[in-house]
Structure formats: C-alpha cells, structure tokens
Amino acid sequence: MPLSYDLIHSSSTIPMTTMTRHETLAERADALLARMTLAQKLGQMMMPERMAATADDVRDYHIGSVLSGGGSAPGTNAVSDWVAMNDAYWAASMDEAPGRLPIPLLYAVDAIHGHANVRGATVFPHNIGLGCTRDPELVARAAGVMAREVLATGVDWTFAPTLAVAQNIHWGRTYESFSERPEVVASFAAGYVRAVQGDLGADGVIACAKHWVGDGGTTAGNDQGDTAITEAELERTHMTPYYPALDAGLLTVMASFNSWNGDKCHGHRYLLTDVLKGRLGFDGLVVSDWDGVDYLHEDYGTAISMAANAGIDVFMVSVEWKQCLALLTQQVEQGVVPMSRIDDAVRRILGVKLRFGLFEKPRPAARVWSNDPAFGGLAHREVAREAVRKSLVLLKNDQTLLPLSRAARILVAGKSAHNRGHQCGGFTVAWQGETTNEAIAGGTSVWEGIQALTPMATLDESGASADAASHDVAIVVIGETPYAEGMGDLRAGGRVQPGSQVVVKPHTLPPYGKTTELAQLHPDDLATITAIAAKGIPVVTVFIGGRPLVVNAELDASQAFVAAWLPGSEGQGVADVLLGDFPFHGTLSFAWPASAAPSYKDEAPRFPFGYGIVTG
Ligand code: BGC
C-alpha cells in the first residue's frame, strides 16, 4: 500500500523542541481547499499543452499543470530554454494578484527513455531492450539519470514508467513494454519509481505509471483498442506490475486509451475509482491521456462529466482546454459532477504537490539541479552505454563468428549502421522520432562506435563495395524506422487515431505496415544482407527495432544475428559487445515469432521467451 500523506509531516525540518503541533499534509491540503473558489479548483484540474497555454493563461485560469506533448519544445530546445519556460509558468502560477491563490504549477513531459524530447539528452534503450537486461538495479540507475536530466530542465513530472504488458507485437507501442510477461515488467516497477521520485526531495521528479489498464492486451494489438478479457486475466497480466509501483509510493497514474470489454478506461468508474483508488488504496492523482476524455461521448460536456465522475483528476486536454474548463464548470454548477468529486480531485492534486515538496521549492531557475552541466554528459552516457550492452540479445552465432577481432577487415553496412535517429526510435526529439544523425545531438551511431574501436572497419551503407578480397566480415545494421503509438501498429488495413499530437480533430494516420514480416516491411534490408553474403563474406546482422519481427530469411542469410532493439543514443554499447570488450548478456523478454500468422502467439516461436546466447 502506498504511504498515506497523512503520515508524512510537512514540518519535519523544524526541530521537535520548537514544534507545538504537526500540521499534516492532508490538513494543509484541506486548508488550501477551503480557501479556493470553484474556478481555482477546476483550474487545478486542467493540463493543457504548452503550445495552447501561455503563462498569462496559467495565471488567469489558475491552471494546475502544463505538458509538452511528444516533440513539443520551447525556443531552440536547449536546456536553458526549458528552464526559462518553466520559470515563466511557475511565476504565473505563484502570482498573488487579488482573486488568486498562489499554487505552484507542475510541468510534465514524456521522459520515457531518457529526457529524449530535449536536444542533447542522454537517450536510453526503449523499455523492450531494458527488459532483456533482466537487471532491475541497472534499470533503476538509468531511471535515476533520466530524472536528473529532467530536473536539469526545471521539469517536475515524467509520464513514466510505462507498465504495459504487451501481448501482441502488432501493437505500435510494444517497445514501451519491458516484457510480454507481467512478472518481468513488475520486477522493474518499484526500483524505477523509487529512482525517479527519490525521497521526494530536490533529487526527485514525479513518476506516472501508465496506462491504466490493459493497454497491452487489445485485440489484434490495436492501439487504443479493446482489451476483451476476464477480470481475473486483467488483474493477472495487466495490473500485476502496478502493485510494486504503488508500494514504492507512486504519485500519479495515467488512464489508458483502451477499453475493457467495450467500456473505455477513461470513463471506467470501477477501474479508476473502485479498484485503483479503492481496493489498491492509491491516494495520488489520475491524469487522463491526451484528449482521451473526448472519446467517451459525442457530446463533449457529457464526456467530461463521465470522466470526472469515473475518477479522472487531471484533464490532459491539449488544445481545447478552455472549452473543457467551461463545460466542467457547467457540469458542476448543474450538479452533474458533485462538488465532493471536485474536492476529492483537487485534494489529490494538492496532495501530490505537497508530498513532492513543490510549495517549498524555489522557482525552477533557482532549483539545485536546474541547468545541471551533467545533462547529456559522459557520466550519464556511460550508464546508457552499459544498458545498451546488457540489452543486446544474441540469437545466432554460427562457428562462433562473434565477437569479431579488432584485426578483422570489417565492412559496416545497412541503412541503420550510421543513423542515431533510427537507433533512438519514437519519442525522441520528435514524437514520431527522427531519421538522421544531426537530429540527435551527442552519442554515437553503431558505425561511430565500431570506428572508435578499430581502424580496420569501413562504412558503406549500401554494401555495394563488398568484396571478399578486402572484407573478412560484414556487420549489417537493419530493421525498423522510427514510429510512435498507433502509427507503429501493424494492421491489415485502415488508419489509426493519433495520440500525442497537436492537431485539429478528427484526424487519422496510416499505420506502419500490414505484416510482422521484416522482408515485406523493409525488403532492402534482406537485399543488402543477401548481396553481401553472395560474395562469400560472413554477415553479422544487427537488428534495430521496437519488437521482434519475422526475420527468417534475414536470419538464414546471416551467420550471426543480434537483436539490438532501440538502443538509443549510445551506439558505442553495441560496438563494445560486437568486438568482444563485453559479453552478450541479454535474453528475450518477448518470444520471437516464426511466422507472420496474425495470431503469432499460437505458433511455435522461432526463439522462445528467455532465449539468448549468453557469452559471459
Ligand atoms: C500517449 C501518452 C503520453 C501522452 C503525452 C499520449 O498520446 O498515449 O503515453 O504520455 O500522449 O504526450
């Protein structure tokens, strides 16, 4: 059970002898609540996107939190731009003009594999790779570094960890999932939350477990789809990772876009209130996902009241927050949403802010870690590099081709050999990710990593110059190109509803592809491998991608095959292992499919869950 904030005393820094009486955080929250007008309360419940809300809006509408959607960054996207932006929002929230009650604002981002929205951040492997390390201590260290980089920008809250237990690789968010097994996801949850939140002092940021609940279990792996399973199965597979996160003192939870047996989670009073806040005793706040409230009902006002009454405390409403605020006000005034529900939501919001010590923190620019020069620095990148090394899974190694000798004449080929954008995947600088080296400031591509270890390697992405007389071996780096959310779905047809994007609705986009077979999604990859192999050069294939795909042809044409997932900015970690400085350590956190049948789980996998040739 999470620690109740009634038990934490706000005045704990005052020596016992001078204290007559502790005022509990709950009492402080209640005292504030008693002084708040309806407008001030409902303002706390709004979370607009930064592009849709100015600092003046924060002051005038008493807004409680603001977020950056994927790729949304201030100024030139430098750390100092973020601090300046947060400072301006914070100052507006603390304005003491008549009619205002200063309550510090929370700023939130998707730091889900590092603070990767920010240029120059240390970008860690996406969760699927971290899952293959089976190393909760390492993952917690990575989360701690990430939190420190978040603090450097004056941001308070990250929408991480994702605790999805992806059950179908067709889902475009598979890479956000540590594993298809709940126990593996759960093994990372508590350490991650503790590393991010710290002791809720100057070293921590607020964590947010997402997406409650069943996001990884939708039929056919459709993003924002329906999870049609029994309650016992929902609990066993999808709730399991939340228990240790809650025990670790998790402060916030995000509602999920998906439905459970046809009923949308955003309007699900049983799941949000009865189970999460009731049975599991969660006393933090529940934030809605990006405009996730909108889909509850065609009448927006009704949708808003359904969400509020179901248990949503903070409304992430991107652009149309003024309309949301006006309609919520109306619903309260008409008694559709009872005042007791509003008070409960605001008490939770204030409780999170108080427990986080937000009222005691100075303005963002004056905080301990703001503009920390360690942001994107070597010490942080070393942790990411270690995570890359330990996340690699060696699937095939005929004649013990790997590790390669530094003396070997290595041809480095493939479209992702020298592409830090591809390595990082979605949710990196841009919401859908980037496709160039330039967009990812700092770090190393796989090629740059190899080059740093041996002068005997040459780069030719096309592989056209392959020649057995000059090359002893080829490393071919292939795989998926970046995507995020539903745009990464593999669906037979149709279009998908985008999530975190500032667009005018309704708006849909095409999915990534129609099949789980890489040779159909990216035929050039197989062509590069087979052309090099046909010249009698042994091929080491390195797969970059957000999920295991059917790669039978690529595997058969390669003598060695390494799954590198989406390793992030530190391609050096891949080179470290290929050239034998460190052993292969990772084991599959998802079964690897053998066929592109839609129900791939029914097939005998090409490699079972837990497989991986470990070399040390
Ligand atoms: C995603 C969330 C994310 C939010 C804010 C949504 O589209 O589903 O995971 O935290 O956007 O960017």
427 lines ligand 1 (CB under 6 A): no
| pLDDT confidence of residue 505 | 55
| pLDDT confidence of residue 17 | 37
> Position 282: which residue type?
F
**Which of 16-20, 280-284, 310-314, 426-430 is predicted with the least confidence, judged by mean pLDDT?**
16-20
More confident: 597 or 463: 463
Q: Over the range 75-94, which residues count as b (16 or more CB within 10 Å of their CB) and which as e?
A: eebbbbbbbbbbbbbbbbbb
Whether the per-residue pLDDT at 274 is higher than 70: the answer is yes
Question: Which residue out of 110, 158, 218, 288 has the highest number of ligand 1 atoms within 8 Å of its CB and is therefore the one to mutate?
Answer: 110
Catalytic annotation, residues: 289, 485
Looking at residues 51-63, what average pLDDT do you find? 98
Looking at residues 488-495, what average pLDDT do you find? 87
| pLDDT confidence of residue 255 | 98
Beta-bridge partner residues of 473 = 410
| pLDDT confidence of residue 5 | 34
| Distance, CA of 237 to CA of 182 (rounded, Å) | 5
498 lines ligand 1 (CB under 6 A): no
290 lines ligand 1 (CB under 6 A): yes
- Whole-number Å distance, alpha carbon 459 to ligand 1 midpoint, is 37
500 lines ligand 1 (CB under 6 A): yes
| pLDDT confidence of residue 22 | 65
488 lines ligand 1 (CB under 6 A): no
Which residues have a Cβ under 8 Å from the Cβ of 94 and sit 6 or more positions away?
A: 102, 103, 104, 363
Whether the per-residue pLDDT at 16 is higher than 90: the answer is no
Question: Which residue out of 115, 159, 162 has the highest number of ligand 1 atoms within 8 Å of its CB and is therefore the one to mutate?
Answer: 159
Confidence band of 21 (pLDDT split at 50, 70, 90): low
- Report the CATH fold assignment for 39-366: TIM Barrel (3.20.20)
| The pairing of beta strand 393-397 with beta strand 560-565 | antiparallel
Whether the per-residue pLDDT at 6 is higher than 60: the answer is no
**Which of 72-81, 364-373, 596-605 is predicted with the least confidence, judged by mean pLDDT?**
596-605
- Whole-number Å distance, alpha carbon 409 to ligand 1 midpoint, is 45
To the nearest 10 degrees (0 to 180), the angle between helices 136-152 and 378-391 is 150
**In 128-194, which ranges are E strands?**
157-158
Mean pLDDT of the chain: 94
- Whole-number Å distance, alpha carbon 551 to ligand 1 midpoint, is 30
Whether the per-residue pLDDT at 376 is higher than 70: the answer is yes
Whether the per-residue pLDDT at 12 is higher than 50: the answer is no
Which residues have a Cβ under 8 Å from the Cβ of 313 and sit 6 or more positions away?
A: 45, 285, 286, 287, 344, 345, 346, 348, 349
Kindly compute the dihedral angle of the four CA atoms of residues 92, 96, 98, 104, in this order, to the nearest 10 degrees. Answer: 60
H helices present in 229-287, as ranges: 231-233, 242-247, 269
Whether the per-residue pLDDT at 335 is higher than 80: the answer is yes
To the nearest 10 degrees (0 to 180), the angle between helices 182-197 and 136-152 is 40
Which residues have a Cβ under 8 Å from the Cβ of 527 and sit 6 or more positions away?
A: none
- Whole-number Å distance, alpha carbon 290 to ligand 1 midpoint, is 6
| Distance, CA of 557 to CA of 545 (rounded, Å) | 19
pLDDT tens per residue across span 438-486? 999 999 999 999 999 999 999 999 999 999 999 999 999 999 999 999 9
| pLDDT confidence of residue 148 | 98
| Distance, CA of 319 to CA of 455 (rounded, Å) | 52
Q: What is the largest CA-CA distance in the chain?
A: 85
CATH classification code of 392-602: 3.40.50.1700
70 lines ligand 1 (CB under 6 A): yes
The domain limits of the chain are 39-366, 392-602
Looking at residues 220-231, what average pLDDT do you find? 96
| pLDDT confidence of residue 13 | 38
Confidence band of 602 (pLDDT split at 50, 70, 90): low
pLDDT tens per residue across span 121-180? 999 999 999 999 999 999 999 999 999 999 999 999 999 999 999 999 999 999 999 999
Which residue's alpha carbon is at the smallest distance from atom 6 of ligand 1?
A: 500
- Whole-number Å distance, alpha carbon 110 to ligand 1 midpoint, is 7
289 lines ligand 1 (CB under 6 A): yes
Nearest atom in ligand 1 to the alpha carbon of residue 498 is 7
**Which of 6-15, 282-291, 514-523 is predicted with the least confidence, judged by mean pLDDT?**
6-15
| pLDDT confidence of residue 10 | 36
Whether the per-residue pLDDT at 433 is higher than 80: the answer is yes
- Whole-number Å distance, alpha carbon 526 to ligand 1 midpoint, is 34
266 lines ligand 1 (CB under 6 A): no
- Whole-number Å distance, alpha carbon 213 to ligand 1 midpoint, is 14
Which residue's alpha carbon is at the smallest distance from atom 12 of ligand 1?
A: 69
Whether the per-residue pLDDT at 528 is higher than 80: the answer is yes
| pLDDT confidence of residue 502 | 52
445 lines ligand 1 (CB under 6 A): no
pLDDT tens per residue across span 341-350? 999 999 999 9
69 lines ligand 1 (CB under 6 A): yes
Looking at residues 411-418, what average pLDDT do you find? 99
Which residue's alpha carbon is at the smallest distance from atom 2 of ligand 1?
A: 289
More confident: 184 or 596: 184
To the nearest 10 degrees (0 to 180), the angle between helices 25-35 and 339-355 is 130
392-602 has the same fold as 39-366: no
| pLDDT confidence of residue 19 | 38
| pLDDT confidence of residue 599 | 64
